[in-house]
Amino acid sequence: MRRARVLATCVGLGGCMAFIHTDARVFPQWEAASHEAVPLDCARVTAVAVKTGKTGVGITVTFEGTDPPCTLRLTAASFEAYARPVGQRASVRASALTLPPPPRLSFGVTVDAYLAFPFDDNAAYNDDALMGRLVLETASARAEIPFEQTPGNR
């Protein structure tokens, strides 16, 4: 009798284990489509999305100085999200909450800056806006860095 009870308990617990979901949830994530630096005035610029969520994206931008030394002053920074294929008009366009203080750059010197772009990323994702770009502007130049949103569990 005891053996039957132990066997029934083990079978019952095993059946319960079948309903436990062990796969980790996968969330959409913005990633730079290219890791090559792009020129912007006296700097070369790279970007990495460090935060992605339903309310926007946070991007760390790295400015690397070139010759001659200068102060790099951003006049605007925006993030645009598009549906595939990239159209003439962005589905979403968000400006940075704040611009970083102008860094003094010289050859080989790197400075990191964090830019936050608030927008309804949940709606953008649901509208298939899976392509994007970071646009950085100075008084005399403009740089664009392409981004892609990797799909989560749909």
Rounded distance, CA 42 to CA 81, Å? Answer: 27
Cβ neighbours around 79 below 10 Å, total: 29
Structure tokens at 145: 């860095």
For 81, residues 6+ apart whose C-beta sits below 8 A from its C-beta are 90, 91, 92, 93, 119, 121, 124, 129, 130, 131, 132, 149
Low-confidence winner among 87-91, 99-103, 148-152 (lowest mean pLDDT)? 87-91
List Cα–Cα distances, 95 to 57, 80, 124, in angstroms.
11, 9, 15
Side-chain-side CA neighbours of 153 within 13 Å: the count stands at 4
- The arithmetic mean of pLDDT across residues 90-96, rounded, is 84
The CA-to-CA distance between both ends of the chain, in Å, stands at: 49
**Identity at 138, one-letter amino acid code:** T
pLDDT tens-digit readout, 115-151: 999 999 888 888 888 889 999 999 999 999 999 988 7
The domain segmentation of the chain, as residue ranges, is 24-150
Structure tokens at 13: 């617990």
pLDDT of residue 2: 66
Task: Assign domain 24-150 one CATH number from 1.10.3470, 2.40.10, 1.10.357, 2.60.40.
Answer: 2.60.40
pLDDT tens-digit readout, 17-70: 555 665 666 788 999 999 899 999 999 999 999 999 999 999 999 999 997 899
Which of the two residues, 92 and 105, has the higher pLDDT score? 105
